[in-house]
Every structure is written in structure tokens, then in C-alpha cells.
């Protein structure tokens, strides 16, 4: 079995895995329960017949599309003797899923408007001020593994740098699998992955700090229990992200070692990349199981217990209908009147940025400028 055929088989498995993930996208596993397809609905409408019908139609159309695209990619790739078709097929699957999502989003928006779903409910908002006066602290102890790996990589690089050859090889992906790109040995190229470790660690720590200060999407019907759950979710998220950063830094340490030793072993490369990535996936499993905001991690009891021995009587309120601030089928948030930089996502897990906040635009521009400048310097010097 030649390399291209093996690559096509692997690509088919990746496409099926991607298809399975996108097939499950409308599930509350990946989205807030009362925001199906990015449309805010009252909690009692989250499982309405209209919502169930749109989920059924999305999956009924996407499943055969996944199978057809996967088979087509396998056949076309075999005819053209190229694995690059797999990347194109993955993009096609994402486009199909986005189109079906948008279709369902618009259908639910019309059903919500026709049924006037918010006519007879009391809307409200709730805020836990203790998240500002007594916020969840950044677990600095969990940054130590990343920092240790960075220091070990830098020290190892400093030791071997005087004995490095004039040209080094760095593994890179291509249309026909892994190739090795030769680089002139300089401080910038020899320590390029060390710089990547430093940038990765700084970005993850900054992201965790921002997430811990992000706006909480609390349940207005039971604010006390949802605030306690939010705190537990923040602590788990912070530890998980910092753990994943340490694993990715470990992967970069392995890649640096391969580059410095001029090792081009495919088995070793698979081990260096695969083991940390699999471990990172394992670390993220509790976050996925907990669902958006950790809502499924600590289910509330029937009597409203908040899990801390107290009770949380229902307020009778439902979250405010804020669809007007969300665009692109519920994936983009723009609200200039909202001071929050990060807000809980409507589609998928985690948080998204408020593009109406001027501060995030300035920070984004600065990060892009730094990344572009570093790339130019690396290419010029290398």
C-alpha cells in the first residue's frame, strides 16, 4: 500500500470524524440549551416541536452529504494520486454544515416571531457582584509545568547551539504528506520553537485571565445555583487550558529536539506530535462533558439545591431576548453598549469576543502586528 493510499484512508477517517462532530453540532452538548441554532428562546421552548424539527432536518440532510463527500474525496484522491483532496473535502463539509445551520437559524427566527414566544414571559438579567469583588483566582501553580518545559527547551537549545550544522530541517505538512523544510541555522531559526513556546504560554495565561473576568451567563431563574456552578466551571476551565498549554509546549520541545538532531524519523514525529495531542484531548473531555457554562457538570436537584447546602428558589424570569446583538447565525456578537470583552458563545463551547468593544479591536490589531513583524523578521533573518 503506497503512501498516498495510506494518506487517503487516514483522510477518510478524519472526514468521517469531522462529519460526526458537525452532525452533533445542534445538540445541547455543544450549545446552550435555550439557544438552539443561535436563536434565543424561552426555556420552555427549547424542546418545542419547531426546534426538534429543525434538528431533524439538519441531520437528515447532513448525514448523506458527509458520506457522499467522503466517498468522492477518496475516489478523486485516488485518481489524482494526491491527498490534498482531503483538505478541500473538509472545507466542503464545513460549508455544507454552515449552510444547513443558517437555514435552521432563519426558520427558527421566523417561528419565534410568528408564535410571539416572548409575549407572556417575564424577561430579566442577573449579575453576581462577588465575581468582581471576590473573583476566581488564576491558578498560578498550574503555569509552572509550561514554564519548566520552556526553560528546559531553552537551556537544551543553548547547550547544543554551538554544535549545530549550518542547515537544519523542520518538518512541515504538504499535499503529499510530511516534508522537511531546510533552514539556515541562526538564533531565530534554532530557537524558533522556543519563541513559539513563550508566545503560546503568554497567550494562554492571558486568555485564562480574560476568561476569569468574562461576563457570566447566569441562569436568571436560579441565580444562586448557577453562580456557584459558574465558579466551578471557571476553575476547571483555567486548569484545563493551562494543562493543555503545558502539553503543547512538550510537543514543541520534542520538535525542537528533532530539528536540532536532524532526525527525520516518521515514527518519532508521529510520537512527538500524537501523544501530547491525545493527552490534550483527554484533558478537554471534562469541559465537553460539562457542556456550555458547565451546565451539565452539576445538575440541580428538584428542590432547587445549589449544591452547597443552600436553596435557590425560582425567580420566574427568563433570559432577555438579545438576538439583535448576534449576527452570522448566532456566531458573532456586536454590542457597543456592553463593556464586556468576552461573552459566552451561543454556538459551541467557551467564549467569544464582543466586536463592538473598541478595546478588543485595538488588542487584536496589536497582536496581528506583532505576529506579522515576527514572521517578517524570521523569514528575513532565516
Q: What is the pLDDT along the chain (382 residues), one digit of tens a residue?
A: 456 666 777 788 889 999 999 999 998 888 888 899 999 999 889 999 999 999 999 999 999 999 999 999 888 888 887 777 888 999 999 999 999 999 999 999 999 999 999 988 889 888 888 888 888 999 999 999 999 999 999 999 999 999 988 888 777 665 455 677 777 888 888 898 999 999 999 999 999 998 998 888 888 888 888 888 889 999 999 999 999 999 999 999 999 999 898 888 878 888 999 999 999 999 988 888 877 776 665 444 434 444 444 455 678 888 889 899 999 999 999 998 888 888 889 988 888 889 888 877 787 777 777 767 766 655 555 5
What secondary structure letter does DSSP report for 311? B
**Nearest to residue 97, comparing CAs of 38, 8, 24?**
24
Q: Is residue 244 part of a domain?
A: yes
Domain shared by 215 and 330, yes or no: no
Domain shared by 63 and 106, yes or no: yes
Domain shared by 200 and 261, yes or no: yes
Q: Is residue 235 part of a domain?
A: yes
Q: Is residue 125 part of a domain?
A: no
Domain shared by 307 and 172, yes or no: yes
Strand partners, 149: none
Number of domains in the chain: 3
d(CA 184, CA 191): 12
Domain shared by 103 and 143, yes or no: no
d(CA 296, CA 215): 19
Cell numbers placing 70: 467522503
Q: Which of 118, 152, 173 is the last residue of a domain?
A: 118
Q: Is residue 126 part of a domain?
A: no
Domain shared by 4 and 98, yes or no: yes
Q: Is residue 243 part of a domain?
A: yes
Q: Which of 66, 83, 118 is the last residue of a domain?
A: 118
Q: Which of 118, 148, 174 is the last residue of a domain?
A: 118
The predicted pLDDT at position 375 comes to 64
Domain shared by 162 and 253, yes or no: yes
d(CA 265, CA 193): 19
Domain shared by 77 and 48, yes or no: yes
Using alpha carbons only, what angle is made at residue 141 by residues 209 and 154, rounded to the nearest 5 degrees? Answer: 90
The predicted pLDDT at position 4 comes to 60
Domain shared by 86 and 161, yes or no: no
- Residue 284's domain comprises 139-319
Q: What is the SS3 assignment for 346?
A: coil
Domain shared by 291 and 375, yes or no: no
Helix segments in the chain, DSSP class H: 3-23, 49-80, 85-115, 130-133, 144-160, 187-190, 192-212, 223-261, 266-290, 358-381
Domain shared by 225 and 94, yes or no: no
Helix segments in 291-357, DSSP class H: none
Q: Is residue 127 part of a domain?
A: no
The predicted pLDDT at position 374 comes to 64
The predicted pLDDT at position 316 comes to 83
Q: What is the SS3 assignment for 293?
A: helix
Q: What is the SS3 assignment for 325?
A: helix
Check if the beta carbon of residue 239 is closer than 8 Å to that of residue 139: yes
The predicted pLDDT at position 17 comes to 92
Using the structure block, give the residue that is written with the C-alpha cell 483532496: 85
Domain shared by 238 and 177, yes or no: yes
What secondary structure letter does DSSP report for 46? T
Q: Is residue 8 part of a domain?
A: yes
Q: Is residue 351 part of a domain?
A: yes
Amino acid at each position: 500500500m503506497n503512501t498516498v493510499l495510506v494518506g487517503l484512508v487516514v483522510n477518510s477517517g478524519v472526514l468521517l470524524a469531522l462529519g460526526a462532530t458537525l452532525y452533533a453540532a445542534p445538540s445541547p452538548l455543544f450549545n446552550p440549551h435555550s439557544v438552539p441554532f443561535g436563536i434565543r428562546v424561552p426555556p420552555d421552548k427549547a424542546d418545542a416541536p419547531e426546534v426538534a424539527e429543525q434538528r431533524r432536518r439538519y441531520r437528515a440532510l447532513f448525514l448523506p452529504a458527509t458520506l457522499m463527500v467522503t466517498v468522492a474525496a477518496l475516489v478523486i484522491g485516488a485518481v489524482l494520486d494526491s491527498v490534498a483532496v482531503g483538505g478541500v473535502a473538509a472545507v466542503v463539509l464545513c460549508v455544507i454544515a454552515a449552510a444547513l445551520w443558517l437555514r435552521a437559524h432563519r426558520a427558527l427566527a421566523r417561528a419565534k416571531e410568528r408564535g410571539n414566544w416572548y409575549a407572556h414571559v417575564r424577561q430579566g438579567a442577573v449579575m453576581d457582584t462577588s465575581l468582581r469583588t471576590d473573583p476566581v483566582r488564576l491558578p498560578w501553580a498550574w503555569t509552572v509545568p509550561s514554564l519548566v518545559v520552556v526553560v528546559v527547551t531553552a537551556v537544551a537549545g543553548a547547550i547544543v547551539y554551538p554544535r549545530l550544522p549550518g542547515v537544519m530541517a523542520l518538518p512541515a505538512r504538504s499535499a503529499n504528506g510530511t516534508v522537511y523544510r531546510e533552514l539556515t541555522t541562526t538564533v531565530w531559526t534554532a530557537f524558533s520553537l522556543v519563541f513559539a513556546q513563550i508566545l503560546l504560554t503568554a497567550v494562554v495565561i492571558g486568555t485564562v485571565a480574560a476568561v476569569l473576568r468574562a461576563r457570566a451567563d447566569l441562569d436568571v431563574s436560579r441565580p444562586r445555583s448557577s453562580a456557584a456552578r459558574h465558579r466551578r466551571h471557571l476553575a476547571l476551565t483555567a486548569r484545563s487550558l493551562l494543562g493543555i498549554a503545558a502539553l503543547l509546549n512538550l510537543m514543541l520541545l520534542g520538535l525542537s529536539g528533532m530539528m536540532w538532531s536532524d532526525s527525520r524519523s516518521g515514527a518519532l514525529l508521529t510520537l512527538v506530535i500524537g501523544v501530547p495531542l491525545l493527552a490534550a484531548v483527554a484533558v478537554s473531555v471534562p469541559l465537553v462533558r460539562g457542556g456550555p457554562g458547565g451546565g451539565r457538570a452539576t445538575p440541580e436537584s428538584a428542590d432547587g439545591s445549589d449544591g452547597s447546602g443552600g436553596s435557590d428558589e425560582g425567580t420566574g424570569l427568563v433570559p432577555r431576548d438579545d438576538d439583535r446583538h448576534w449576527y452570522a447565525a448566532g456566531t458573532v456578537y456586536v454590542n457597543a453598549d456592553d463593556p464586556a470583552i468576552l461573552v459566552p458563545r451561543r454556538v459551541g463551547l467557551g467564549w467569544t469576543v464582543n466586536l463592538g468593544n473598541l478595546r478588543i479591536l485595538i488588542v487584536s490589531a496589536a497582536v496581528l502586528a506583532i505576529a506579522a513583524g515576527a514572521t517578517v523578521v524570521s523569514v528575513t533573518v532565516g
